[in-house]
Amino acid sequence: MSTQCETGDHDRETPATAGERVTFRDIDGQLEAIDALVESGVYANRSEAIRAALAQFVSAEPWGENDE
């Protein structure tokens, strides 16, 4: 079973249980650091490491707060 996802002007089919797929360009070698974490067993794969990093970023960021 799949669902139709629409993001901007890009239509694609994804499995109903899959999350949103995001693409980025690694210009500073971040993937090498992520791969090292995966190879050392800290994370099972790149996706798990990136999800953990995003969760930490979002929970630490003072969204909407003004530091002035």
Q: Is the pLDDT at 29 greater than 70, yes or no?
A: yes
Amino acid at 52: A
Q: Is the pLDDT of residue 50 over 60?
A: yes
User: Residue 20 in contact with residue 8, Cβ under 8 Å?
Assistant: no
pLDDT higher than threshold 70 for residue 28: yes
- Both tokens of 16, joined, read 């109903």
Average pLDDT, the chain: 78
Residue 50's nearest CA partner among 32, 34, 29, 27 is 34
pLDDT per position as a tens digit, 18-27: 789 999 999 9
- What pLDDT score was predicted for residue 19? 87
**How is the chain split into domains, by residue range?**
25-62
Q: Are 44 and 34 in contact (CB under 8 A)?
A: no
Q: pTM (2 decimals)?
A: 0.62
